[in-house]
Amino acid sequence: MSLITLTDPQSPISEAYRTLRTNLSFYSLDKPLQTLVVTSPAVSEDNGVSVANLAVTMAQSGRNILLIDCDLRRPVLHEFFGLSNENGLTTMILDDVEKPPLQQTNVENLSLLASGPKPPNPADMLGSKKVDQLIASMTEQFDFVLFNAPPVVAVTDATILGAKVDGVLLVITAGKTRRDHAEKAKEMLEQAHVRVVGVALTNAPKDSSLGDYYN
């Protein structure tokens, strides 16, 4: 798997991720975001791609970034960076390891905490006090912590995790995400008092009027 922010950093898509990075940076000047869950309404491959590319652009800005794969059912982030998933969040919690098994990616300033092997009870694990302690510890060590979470409508994981962080970013895929799924996801998050900071649209048609500018 490839990351367009690395393979084609001058592309319109890469620029869109940098715009998203900037918008998140100025989301709240009173209390800037430091922890963010990126998820989608329903099953979508764009979710993992989006959080990985966003993490790359944040790291490229010079900030120290941690990316945590909390999709304990279908982890993908380790594959993007060619890293191991043998140890990660699940092994840290199950083995009661104090120091998380962080891995340095091939991107400067970007570290990854992989998901680790699939546990029997992902939602219960994400709701544990150990995850609370991990978040508190990692926010002291990193400038920004990004979490990849499974779809909101499919399982409760993203909602549980979203209640522990500064906000949630929903990834909507043009031509794929159903309107009722998007509305249901927003409703579920709001009912749980989870702060939805915005929506990112992927797979949108390219604006042909910008072609000459990027060429």
Model pLDDT for residues 61-105, shown as the tens digit of each residue: 999 999 999 999 999 999 999 999 999 999 999 988 889 999 999
Q: What confidence score (pLDDT) does residue 44 get?
A: 62
- Reduce the DSSP state of residue 38 to 3 states and report it: strand
More reliable by pLDDT, 203 or 10 = 10
Q: Tell me the C-alpha distance between 212 and 110, whole Å.
A: 32
Share of the chain above pLDDT 90, in %: 64
Q: Buried (b) or exposed (e) across 93-107, using 16+ Cβ within 10 A?
A: beeeeeebbbbebeb
Query: Is the predicted pLDDT of residue 208 greater than 90, yes or no?
Result: no
Q: Tell me the C-alpha distance between 149 and 114, whole Å.
A: 12
Domains in the chain, please, with CATH? 34-205 (3.40.50.300)
**42: DSSP letter:** S
Q: Tell me the C-alpha distance between 172 and 180, whole Å.
A: 12
Q: What confidence score (pLDDT) does residue 164 get?
A: 95
Mean pLDDT of 118-146: 94
Cβ-proximal residues to 105 (8 Å cutoff; 6+ apart), any chain: 67, 81, 83, 111, 112
* Backbone dihedral region for residue 203 (phi beyond 0: left; psi -120 to 50: alpha; all else: beta): left
Q: What confidence score (pLDDT) does residue 215 get?
A: 35
Which of the residue ranges 27-36, 146-155, 201-210 has the most confident prediction, judged by mean pLDDT?
146-155
Strands 65-69 and 144-148, how do they pair?
Answer: parallel
Nearest residue to 68 (alpha-carbon basis) of 108, 126, 111, 122: 111
Share of the chain above pLDDT 70, in %: 91
Mean pLDDT of 94-117: 94
Q: Tell me the C-alpha distance between 33 and 143, whole Å.
A: 10
- Give the distance from CA 157 to its chain's centroid: 13
- Which residue bears the tokens 């500018």? 213
